[in-house]
Every structure is written in structure tokens, then in C-alpha cells.
Structure 1
Amino acid sequence: MAAEIKKEIELEIAHVLFTDIVGYSKLPIHQQRAVVERLNEIVRGTDEFQAAETAGRLIKIPTGDGITLVFYHSPEAPVECALEISRALKKHPELQLRMGIHSGPVSGVIDATGKANVAGAGINMAQRVMDCGDAGHILLSKHVAEDLEEYPHWQPHLHELGECEVKHGVRLSLVNLYTEELGNPAVPEKLKAARVAAAAQRKRAAFRWLSLRVVSLLVVIAVIGFLLFRYRPPHAAVELLVPEKSIAVLPFENRSRDPDNAYFADGIQDEILTRLSKIA
């Protein structure tokens, strides 16, 4: 396999800018070729591209519907390059581009033809970051954003987006980079949909919790009702406690001045009781 002898490039941390032309697959073939050529012209015209290429610290990877740039000097390099590209695209509204940036380990090879290529987590993650965006977005991984936060002039342009679920269920923390003139300040549609789904899930969870509470309350009421019905006193026993009809005869008081008349009051009470007992 002499013709396929490859020179290994050691594993190192790189700063990757991954780009993608939005709606590329829907364009006619001649337009696809035209927009790719225009994108290559714009990218090659940026100061960051030229500086890194002159220093020999840049790898260019065509992706069919975009281009991937691998920088090695600084995490600011791909960000500055993305802003330069975004500025140039204002003159080419027909070219809708989205960009993702991540810093991570990459390894590459240079084959016998002299063509360079790279692979690794840094490349894969940059693509996943880009996949979360829409046209005009410059999205950064949280790792890149934390590096840029060390520089005060970047801080006003970094805007937290939260997490986005990507391939294989991986969740990425994303930051949207934009200025007053460059980038896209809108929340990506993918994150909007995720937020709507999360809100709907919270509503369903709240409804299930409320339903469980209502069912539990109904069960308690049913148990209490059963116990009250099961152990209530018989109707006949209640009737025996209180006679259906009764008359109380209070003692008579002797209101005369003669105390000897007290026996008369007692006699009247006894007589009334005797007569009433005969009626019963």
C-alpha cells in the first residue's frame, strides 16, 4: 500500500469553524456550484484565513455544502473569521450560511497526494453545534464561550441559549454570538421547539400530579363514607334512647305563709303523676 502511505499528525487541541449553506440541497446543480465557489472566495478573503494559512497552521476541509476550517493558534481565530464571513455575506443575501465553533482534540493525516484531513471530537462537536442553528447564526459551544469570556471585548456579544439535544441524545450548552450588525439574534428554531416540548411535558406532569391528588381525595372520602355507613347505630336502638312521647311533672312550691300547707303541694304532685300514669 505504498501509494496510500500516510503521515500521522499528532493529537492536539484545535479551534474548529464548521459552516453549512442552508437550503443547499434544494438548489439546482449549477446554483450549488456557484454558491460554493462564492463561499470559498469569501472565506479565502478573510484576514484570519490568510494569516493562519501563511503561518501554516490552518487545515481546510470542503464538506460539499460548506467548508470546515481548523485553526490552532487561538480560540479567537475561528470567531473572528466567522464575523468576517458574516460581514461579507451582507453583500450576498442569496448565500444563507450557518456556523458552529468548538475547541477540542483533533488528529489528522496528510496522504501521498498532500491533501490534509482531520477527525476527532473537536470536528464532530463543531458540526453538532452548527446543526442547532439557522441561517445567519454563529453558535459557540459553552467551552469556547468560557474562553472568550476572559476577554472583556467579547462579553457583550455572548448570549446564553441553554441546552440543545443533538445526535445520540447528547445535550450541548450553546451560546449565540452576535453584534448589532452581525450574526442572528433570534433563538434557533430547534431550541424553540425543545422549549415548547419541555413546557408541554411540565404541563402534563402537573396535570398527572393534580389528577393523582384528586383521585386520592376521592378515595379518602369513599373510605370515610363506608366507615360511617358500616358502623352507624341501628335505627331501633336510637329510638329506645329517647321515648316517642313524655311529660315531666315539676314539684310544686308552697307559696302560702303557712308552712303546714307544704304537704298539700306534695299531694297535688303525687295525684297528677298517678293520673298521668293511668293514661299511659
Structure 2
Amino acid sequence: MSHHRQLAAIMFTDVEGYTAVMQHSEQQALELKNRHRDVLQQEHEEYHGRIVQYYGDGSLSIFQSAVEAVECALKMQLMFAEPPRVPVRIGLHMGDVVFDEEQLFGDGVNLASRIESLGVAGSVLISDKINNEIRNHPDIKSYSVGTYQFKNVEQEVEVFALDHDKLVKPSPYTLKGKTEEKKTKTRKKIHKRAPVKSIAVLPLINMSNDPEQQYFGDGVAEEIINSLSSLKDLKVAGRTSSFRFRRQNIDLREIGEKLGVSTVLEGSVRKQGDRLRITVQLIKVNDGFHLWSERYDGKLDDIFAIQDEIAKAITAKMKVMLSERSRGKIEKAHTQNTDAYKLYLKGRFYVNRRGTSILTGIKFLEQAIALDPDFALAHTAYADACMMAGLYGLLPPRKVMSRARESAERALTLNPELSEAYCALGSYYCYIWNLPEAEKNFLKSLELNPNYAHVHLRYGLSYLAWMKGDFAKAQEHGEMAIKLEPLSALCYGIHAQILHAAGKFSEALLACKTGLELDANSYLCHLYTGYSYLFLKQYKEAITVFEGLMEVSNKHSFTHGGLIMALSQKGDYERAQKELGDLKERAKKEYVVCTVIGIAASWLQDNLNEAFHFLNKGLEEHEPLMVSIKYEHWIPAALREDPRYQKLLERMEYSHKLLAQGSHI
């Protein structure tokens, strides 16, 4: 593949707070992104800039002239300040870049990215090199905002901000981004050596004109991860952690340190109609040396062969021994229907976004299965999505649990070595209180893929913590999931659930705070922050968390229940009773998790009859949350001491025997 070097002015832009806007309103987020791109394209054409790539809510571009790059940045910020305002950070640097027809990389790119990370929406930050280029242009004014030591950059860099009446002008030495403490003396940093045979697969950058095609690049990368994860001789970083390094302006050493890998696979995908171009390169993280690179041109029908070739090329370059069984896993074609495959990738893309996006994902997966009923991976993904929809109260469990079981069983009929399908079945049998079948399926999933973080979490929480009360072993599996996915807020959130069930509320709170540092919008981490404060008897803090979460979660029943508990413990029974009434009224118009209503009611005086009424309804609906009531701390003493509580547990333990006799839910 041909490369060439050139000196260029490099610009990064990023829409500040885009993820939070997306959580609140996808329509508003799309409008911001479209306006950002419209202004970008218009002004780059005027100032002779070249947009190299978009990445979700940001962009990377280059200019031959530093002055034109600065003038373009200034003009764009002035336009972004006009209604409808777009909060954009812009960073510029002048440096040497390595360029091929689709990729741009080099130290200059990395430093421009670091400068943008310091940015404040509405400002333009530039490096000292750019500042030197504009000194002879009196109409462009700038001032120093301080000298910063950027991560993995040897020398300190002085950063400047454009000085203009209509720009935001940050105060010197107040900026925070990808920096570290300034070096006072030379010292060698000691890092644990990553295994030689270890890899992180990054999402393929979408080079298509349509930004909505990002699902395809994510999906192809995820399929490569799944193929490689089946090889016991190769350590593969988890999807969630690897996908945090979504942008091209990545620091390979940072990836190696955070994920514990020695190599990274990165690349891009361009899909135009049924034509496909995939470019990939395998890189050593310690020195940036390219072990292998390749470009694949073909039709969409060739995607399966391309994925197999990439996986086999990686194993060859990393000298991973392939048994016949391992080779079969890599080469196995799961469908020959490319339309079904695209729908499957879209389904996985939306399910991975969590929240109500799971419901969108379910629709795409249903369409994929309709096109190819023998598509094992689509059945597996559908089973997992239905299980999550029931678990989080997005759909009535009776409506989706049987679908999950049927699809998981169908997937295993088609391919008996799918770890994910056994995990889905393990969850299903947990939620109908069948301990032997639940454990058998979870252990089979772990046997097939011990590096599947999700099964460690579900086995740890649903089976070991909630069903068995084996908190020590449950915690081990939670810690293993974090080791496999060190940058996943979801892993920290579910680990916090395990710690909470064990009564380790301070440790649960710490896990939530770590998760929120990774993803400030993590619902689960916010939720268990509130629960942790509640059981640490910090009621004011708990109420504050739950009240904030009520708004952003659209009054999700888990949040509403937590708020009622916190209010009752604080002694505000009048408001707690009112909130309980609101929750019951909602349940008349929409599906609300009955178990939550029952638990919340039990925290209020003289409400035990009502509490058992809703808990029994929760059992009839086979709500997954019912599994928690044996050991979780949110069951108050008054409820546990009531004779009806023990009878409820006995009914739950007996229910799986009835189901085993043919009355599947």
C-alpha cells in the first residue's frame, strides 16, 4: 500500500456533550451533527481544506496553509455561535503526517488531537507551531493559555487561544484534557509487559458518504473480535473497551497500557451500494511498526471471505497455532444472505447502545431471522436482546422470555458451540428459578469462551449472588469481567450490583464512581450510586441522585422505586406515598415492573398487603428482578418476617418444575 509524507496544518473538531444530547434526544443530536457537518464542508471549501474523515460527532481535516486553517476555524466558530448554536471544540497543530488515499496518521495528528482535548466549546486552540505561522498576520490575534505536558508526548507544548470578541476565551492554565503531571525529572515508567500474542481490534472507521453506515464498520470489527476470541492461544481485548478508542487520533501506547495488548488492528471501511473496500493494518503498540497491512476490494457478498482472511492473516503474523476446530470456527459462514447480515449488524449496533435502543435492535434482528431462519448468530443476538428487554423492564417478560429461549435453542441446534447462546439460556433458567439448568448453561458458556465478559457478569450476579448467595465467588466473576473489559462502565455497574447484594455498599459506590469516570451517562452506575448512598444512610445524597435520574431516564421504574425507598427512609412519607401512587397509576397505562412496585410499597408503613399483591404479580409475569428478593438488601425486615414471604419463595422454587412439565413462558 502506498504512503507519502507531507507537512500539513491539522484540525480536529468535536461537538461537546454530544453523547449526553444523544441520550436525551436522538433528533436533537442528529440536528447538531448535521449543522456541524454543513458548516464544516462549506468553510473547508472556501479555505481549501480537506476533510479526511468524520467520526460520529467530530472530524479530522488538513490544510496546506496554517493561516487558512486558522481563518477557517475562526469563521466556523463564529457561525457555530449563531442559532441554532453548536458547542464545538477546535484544535490545530502544524506537523508531519503520513498519508495514503484513506488514512492519515503520525505524531502531528496525535498532538493536534491532544490540543483539541483541552478545548472549550466556542474557542479555538492552536499549538506554538501554528502560532509562529500567524505572527505576521496582525488581523489574527492570540494569547498563551499555558504550557502543558500531554500524555505520551516527550516535550511540553505551549498552547495558544485565538483572541476574538465573539469567541470563548479560556483562562490560562485552567484547561484539562489528555495531559499528565509535568515531568520534574527523568524517570522510567514501569509497565506490566503485555503478552506477545495479544490484540485489540478497533472499530473500522466509516469512510462512506453516509454517516449512518457506521454500524457496518462496528459490526465487521466485532465479528473479527468474535472469531479471534475463540482462539485460546490469543488474548483478545473485549469489544466495549476496544471500541472506546473509536477515533483515528489514537495513541497506540495508551491502548497497549490500558488494554494490556501488544498489537492493535485498525482500519477503515467504505461501502457504496454493493461495493466494498476494507483497509486494515496490524500495528505493534510499543513502536508503531506495521506488522501487516492489506486492502480488500470486492462486493458485499465477499464480506464473509474478507473477515476470514483478516482473522487468518492475524493468526499467521502473530504465530498463533490453529487447530482444525479453531480454523473451523474462523472459517464458518453463518449466512450467505448479505441483506440478513446487514440487518444483523444493525441489530447488534442498536442493542449495544442499550436503553430503548434495544427495542430498535430487536426489530432489525427479527427482520434478519425472517430473511434467513438458519442464521445462528442472528438467533443468538435476538435471544440476548429479548433477555435484556425483559430484564430492564422495556417489555413484559412473558412477551419476550419465551422468544429468548426459543431463539437460543434454535441457535445451538444450528451451531452447538455458541457461547453467547448458552449464556442467554443460563439467564432464562435463572429467571424461572431453575438452578441446575441455569448453572449448567452458564458453565458451558464459560467453557466455550472463558474470555466472554458478559457471561461472567450474568453468572456472577443472577446466579451466584441473587440465587445462591455465594457473594465471594460472584465477586470473583465480577472482577474477572472488569479484567477482560477494563474500560466498560457496564462491567463496573454490574460489579457494583454484586457488591451491593453482598452488603459492601462503600465498595459498590466506588465501583460506580469508576464506571462514571468511563461513561458519565451510565444509567446502571448512576442507579447504584443512588442505592449505595441509600444503604449507607446518606439519604439526602440518594434522593439527589434518584431525582436527577428520574428526568434523564423518563421515570424508569427502577429509578422511581429507589426514590420512594429513599424518601421513606428520610421520613418524608407523604411524598413517598404520592410517588408510589404515581408509579401505580403509570402501571395502569404502560408496563411497569410489578416487583419494583411491591418492593417500594413494602418500605411504607401498613402497605404489606399491597406489597405482596404486586410481588405475586411479578412472579406471575416471571419478572427477572424477582430473583433478587431472596438475598438483596432492599427487602425490609417487615417483609421478610411476614409468613407470606417464605411462601412466596417456595412458590418461586416450585415454579420451574411446572414449567419443566411443558408450560414454558
TM-score bracket, shorter-length normalisation: 0.5 to 0.7
CA contact (8 A) 1:133 1:190 kept: no
Spell out, residue by residue over 1:135-165, the C-alpha distance to the aligned partner (whole angstroms, 9 max, x if none).
11200101110111133333xx110112123
CA contact (8 A) 2:145 2:170 kept: no
Letter in 2 for 1:10: H
The 2-side partners of 1:139 and 1:21 are apart by 15
Which of 103, 109, 112 is residue 100 of structure 2 equivalent to?
A: 109
Identify the residue that residue 86 of structure 2 maps to in structure 1: 95
Cα drift, residue 33 of structure 1: 2.5
The 2-side partners of 1:21 and 1:135 are apart by 8
The 2-side partners of 1:121 and 1:80 are apart by 23
Identify the residue that residue 76 of structure 1 maps to in structure 2: 67
TM-score (norm 1): 0.57
Alignment of 1:151-166 (within 5 A): 151-154=137-140, 157-166=141-150
Cα drift, residue 93 of structure 1: 5.0
Cα drift, residue 178 of structure 1: 2.3
Identify the residue that residue 60 of structure 1 maps to in structure 2: 52
Cα drift, residue 190 of structure 1: 4.3
Spell out, residue by residue over 1:246-266, the C-alpha distance to the aligned partner (whole angstroms, 9 max, x if none).
xxxxxxxxxxxxxxxxxxxxx
Closer, same or farther in 2 for the Cα pair 1:51/1:143, shift >3 Å? closer
Which of 29, 32, 36 is residue 29 of structure 2 equivalent to?
A: 32
Which of 157, 179, 192 is residue 172 of structure 1 equivalent to?
A: 157
Closer, same or farther in 2 for the Cα pair 1:189/1:62, shift >3 Å? farther
The 1-side partners of 2:72 and 2:144 are apart by 21
Closer, same or farther in 2 for the Cα pair 1:188/1:38, shift >3 Å? farther
Alignment of 1:35-54 (within 5 A): 35-46=32-43, 48-52=44-48
Alignment of 1:204-243 (within 5 A): none
Cα drift, residue 92 of structure 1: 3.1
Structure with higher RCO (Cα < 8 A, 6+ apart): 1
Closer, same or farther in 2 for the Cα pair 1:86/1:26, shift >3 Å? same
Cα drift, residue 21 of structure 1: 0.6
The 2-side partners of 1:143 and 1:161 are apart by 14
Instruction: Compare the two structures and name the one with the higher strand fraction.
Output: 1
Classify the secondary structure of the residue corresponding to 2:114.
helix
Cα drift, residue 189 of structure 1: 7.5
Closer, same or farther in 2 for the Cα pair 1:43/1:169, shift >3 Å? closer
Q: Which runs of 4+ in 1 moved over 6 A?
A: none
Classify the secondary structure of the residue corresponding to 1:45.
helix
Identify the residue that residue 133 of structure 2 maps to in structure 1: 147
The 2-side partners of 1:180 and 1:168 are apart by 34
The 1-side partners of 2:40 and 2:51 are apart by 13
The 2-side partners of 1:32 and 1:151 are apart by 37
The 2-side partners of 1:151 and 1:51 are apart by 16
Show structure 2 runs of 5+ residues with no match: 183-665
Identify the residue that residue 388 of structure 2 maps to in structure 1: none
CA contact (8 A) 2:13 2:89 kept: yes
Identify the residue that residue 13 of structure 1 maps to in structure 2: 7
Classify the secondary structure of the residue corresponding to 2:175.
helix
Q: Kindly, what percent of the aligned residue pairs are identical?
A: 24
Which has the higher Rg, Structure 1 or Structure 2? 1
Which of 81, 101, 105 is residue 119 of structure 1 equivalent to?
A: 105
Cα drift, residue 81 of structure 1: 0.7
Instruction: Compare the two structures and name the one with the higher helix fraction.
Output: 2
The 2-side partners of 1:65 and 1:9 are apart by 27
Identify the residue that residue 129 of structure 1 maps to in structure 2: 115
Cα drift, residue 60 of structure 1: 2.6
Cα drift, residue 192 of structure 1: 7.9
Identify the residue that residue 220 of structure 1 maps to in structure 2: none
CA contact (8 A) 2:7 2:95 kept: yes
The 1-side partners of 2:78 and 2:109 are apart by 24
Cα drift, residue 84 of structure 1: 1.1
The 1-side partners of 2:138 and 2:85 are apart by 34
CA contact (8 A) 1:20 1:98 kept: yes
Show structure 1 runs of 5+ residues with no match: 1-5, 111-115, 199-280
Cα drift, residue 186 of structure 1: 2.5
